[in-house]
Chains A and B, each alone.
Chain A
Amino acid sequence: MSSLQSNASVSRKPGAQPRRSSLLRLSGGALIALIALAALIAFVAVPRLSNDYWLSAILIPFLVLSLAGLGLNLVTGYAGQLSLGSAAFMSVGAYATYNLLVRAPALPLAVDLLLGGLITAAVGALFGLPSLRIKGFYLIVSTLAAQFLVEWIFTRVSWFSNNDGSGVLSAPTLSAFGLKIATPAARYLLVLSVVAVVFAMAFSLVRSELGRRWMAVRDMDTAARVIGIPVGRTKLLAFALSSFVLGIAGALWAFAYLGTVEPHGFDLNLSFQVLFIIIIGGMGSIGGNFLGAAFIVLLPILLSHAAGALASVGIEAGQLQNLQKILFGTLIIVFLIKEPDGLARLVQTARNRLRDWPLRA
């Protein structure tokens, strides 16, 4: 934790104007007003105006997946270390938080989440160790090893599931500040608060010295070593901090969205989904995670609404999943070809156009 805070203070240095920060072009006052307005809408207006379906089927998974995307983006988008084990780290976070909740009921929820994240960070650093010696595609194996090993351990070792024989644990009711978190609106607010805090930290983290080191390692690790960056430590920190975020996201995924803790809720497919979020949203972008997650969550819903129309043309509802797969695959390739920086870049281009729109065609 202390490293996070010290980095946050480093980032306030003048001249820390990164390439992709379109937010900073606004003046300070306007920025604060904008953030306050967004917070007001997200915290007050949304829970009042939306129904339970919207909250628990769309908004909560959207926010948790954004958080997971952020976690993967730190290690893959910023530090350039490809990982296919995001779901494994999420499950570590979920199980760690579950055990803390069950075995140490005295601890407040925030501490449980934090400790769960820290435990995941340690596990992430462990599986990041091979990155000191190997890189590129060979590293995929190490993260896939995490994926399979962790899934196996949580299935076989009953201590982690509190010696519950069924293998599927129902999440205990959470409470914070003496209030029970039982309704979808309460769960939404919990997720939103965590997401807001972690994203705020991440915004300054990637602008800090550590964030710059990550980008240097990503762009050319030999050159980074030559200018004196401790490459090994930088990579390990990327794995640890990424897993910290993924662990918290995993805990929220289990407690606020699924309502159960089970190894199969965190399979390889979830890892791929998180990877797609950062490809579509934008690698090396913080805000892009929201765009990517919105895309991943909304596309299947839109498709199933379109199912009625498709049924009349002779395409069965059962084929929808296959169509969705084809569509996702095509979109990935199109994005990689046409817009490698993802939706985040598209939005920024649109904004730049809009700023001097009436004056220039």
Chain B
Amino acid sequence: MEFFLEVLVGGLLAGVMYSMVAIGFVLIYKASGVFNFAQGSMVLFGALTYVSLVERQVNPVLAFGVTLAALVLIAVLIGRLVLRPLVNRPPIVLFMATLGLSFILEGAAQLFWGAQVHGLALGIDDKPLNLAGIMISQFDIFAAATAGALVLALSLLTRRMRLGLSLRAVADDPLAALAVGVRLPRVWAIVWALAGFVSLVAGLLWGARLGVQFSLSLVVLKALPVLIIGGFSSIGGAIVGGLLIGAPEKLAEVYVGTLLGGGIENWFPYLLAMLFLLARPAGLFGEPAVERV
């Protein structure tokens, strides 16, 4: 029973890590209707830039600032060079453009910083703590707390502030938003910069656990099923989706995977997401689409 609980809690905390990546997706999807496949590359780019700067004896806080500035610059460029010319095109075209974007970011990150694996220490040990008889990693708790703080801050931002109002206006109807004077390019830049910030935080947490390397960009594939279950347009949904994916995934790996020869982690979340979709095609918190001819 204790072992079961440990696996369950470990899975839930892993799920929180998935949600961190998924939140970046949701932000961009809400504000520009773009399904941003490049989110994983942004995670890689952010973490790789940060770790390379720190390795070159740059003060960690300064390195964080510089990396963030680079991500903001990228966000502005994306708005200018990619989103603006593609405005009013079908969503599928925008998705494919982000596919191209992910190639550019991955190529650029490795061109500048090389392809070797970097270790990353954030000063929090990956030591198990004994909480009421269950062993939980200290690092996982830290990651979960960070994710919680991020979600809280982002939902405050989108619900309580003027900026959030314009974000929601753009998401609802870009043309109407333009008509009432919302500056669309600025909203794009802000949202992509925010997503860049989230992906940097996610990249640092993931990087501290797995090492900063190319495979970091593959967390995008972990975040997809999370997104499906939570719905594309809900930040809270991303967290719930992460928990709903993380726990069953680890439980299945431990209890079912051993029977099947292991390695089912790769496809199990997708299977779960698919079954889920058959019951609720718009996700748990997504808005069902209304169709008219």
Contact = CB atoms under 8 A, between A and B. Distances in A.
Contact of A319 (B96, B106, B111): B111
A141 B267 contact: no
Contact of A130 (B81, B274, B293): B274
A260 interface: no
Given A137-B35, A155-B263, A275-B96, A326 B107 contact: yes
A329 B232 contact: no
A319 B109 CA distance: 11
B100 interface: yes
B270 interface: yes
Interface in A318-343: 319, 322-326, 328-333, 336-337, 340
Interface stretch (B44-52, B84-92, B129-137, B141-149): B84-92
A137 B232 CA distance: 9
B266 A152 contact: yes
B277 interface: yes
Interface residues of chain A: helix, strand, loop or mixed (majority): helix
A82 B92 contact: yes
Contacts of B205: none
B100 A332 contact: yes
- Interface size on A, as a range, is 35 or more
B111 A322 contact: yes
Given A333-B97, A336-B97, A156 B273 contact: no
Contacts, number: 119
Contact of A142 (B106, B264, B274, B291): B274
A324 B277 contact: no
Contacts of A333: 81-82, 97, 100-101, 104
A54 interface: no
A305 interface: no
B103 A145 contact: no
B20 interface: no
Interface stretch (B120-128, B181-189, B194-202, B221-229): B221-229
Query: Counting chain B CB atoms within 10 Å of each CB, which of A82, A322, A329 scores highest?
Result: A329
A130 B107 contact: no
A230 interface: no
Q: Would you list the 4 A-B pairs with minimal beta carbon distance, nearest first? A: A329-B103, A332-B100, A325-B107, A145-B270
Interface of A: 80, 82, 130, 133-134, 136-138, 140-142, 144-145, 148-149, 151-152, 155-156, 220, 222-223, 226, 268, 272, 275, 279, 319, 322-326, 328-333, 336-337, 340
